[in-house]
Amino acid sequence: MSDIGWKFMSDGDWILLSKVVWCIFIVGWGIIRYRPNRQARKVKIGKTSRTLKERFSMAISFSGLGIVPAIWVFSGYFEQFNYSVNPVLILIGAVLILVALRLFRITHKALGAMWSHSLDLREDHKLVTKGIYEKVRHPMYSAFWLWALAQAFLLPNLLAGFAGLVGFGTLYFLRVGQEETMMEDEFGEQYRDYSARTKRIIPGIY
């Protein structure tokens, strides 16, 4: 870090800051999810596609975004995977994680009670294609990708940092095709038209 010249904080301070930002993010994310979770649970699930593969990928994702970084943040484990602190990377991570938080809020507001943490269709499920859903088909997964990327920048530990990309990446690639098939089976032409005019994660690109 000394070659960058940010000497007003020691490496230990920067590591502590990265851990504090991560904790603030997790609490903020929990707060954002609390109400939509309660609201959505009031609406019955009409159909579900929760397969064993889906449960497995949710567990991997939860470990990579939550458990592995939490172990590093709160205990002395994995410290052998720490790398030298670079404040610029930590600050980029902090900014990205705040953007992710904002995007979570926007997507939850747009999806409302149609949200589910797994592959479910609510009774009388409506296809949301407005607001942020006009830009991409999976803005909540965009927010998760941002979270995973932010984690890699923010936490100066190879294991805790990159676990999110591996964990969420596994969930994303195992789930997204299945989710789109489920939506197409339910909404037919309407979903095919919607897919034809939107990308998955990055507006206009991917």
Among 14, 63, 85, 120, binds ligand SAH (CB under 6 A): 120
Beta bridge partners of 199: 136
Among 21, 96, 119, 150, binds ligand SAH (CB under 6 A): 119
Q: Is 65 in the site for ligand SAH (CB under 6 A)?
A: no
At residue 31's C-alpha, the angle toward residues 27 and 36, to 5°, is 145
Q: Is 54 in the site for ligand SAH (CB under 6 A)?
A: no
Task: Tell me if 38 sits within 8 A of 108, measured CB to CB.
Answer: no
Q: Min. distance of Cβ 102 from ligand SAH in angstroms?
A: 14
Among 99, 113, 114, 158, binds ligand SAH (CB under 6 A): 114
Instruction: Name the segment binding ligand SAH (CB under 6 A); options: 2-10, 36-44, 57-65, 118-126.
Output: 118-126
Q: Is 133 in the site for ligand SAH (CB under 6 A)?
A: yes
- Measured between its terminal Cα atoms, the distance across the chain in Å is 36
> Alpha carbon of 30 to those of 59, 85, 101, 126, 182: distances in Å?
18, 28, 10, 25, 27
Gyration radius of the chain's alpha carbons: 19
Q: Min. distance of Cβ 151 from ligand SAH in angstroms?
A: 18
CB nearer to ligand SAH: pick between 128 and 146 = 128
Neighbour count for residue 96 (Cβ, 10 Å): 19
CB nearer to ligand SAH: pick between 27 and 131 = 131
Among 97, 88, 86, which Cα is nearest to 151's?
97
Gap between the Cα atoms of 71 and 114, Å rounded: 33
Among 204, 193, 190, 189, which Cα is nearest to 135's?
204
CB nearer to ligand SAH: pick between 54 and 85 = 54
One-letter amino acid for residue 76 of the chain: G
Instruction: Name the segment binding ligand SAH (CB under 6 A); options: 23-31, 80-88, 109-117, 159-167.
Output: 109-117
Q: How many residues bind ligand SAH (CB under 6 A)?
A: 17
Place of tokens 């006009």: 134
Lay out the site mask for ligand SAH across 139-158 (x = CB under 6 A, - = otherwise): xxx-----------------
Query: Would you tell me which residues interact with ligand SAH (CB under 6 A)?
Result: 107, 111, 114-116, 119-121, 127-128, 133, 138-141, 179, 183
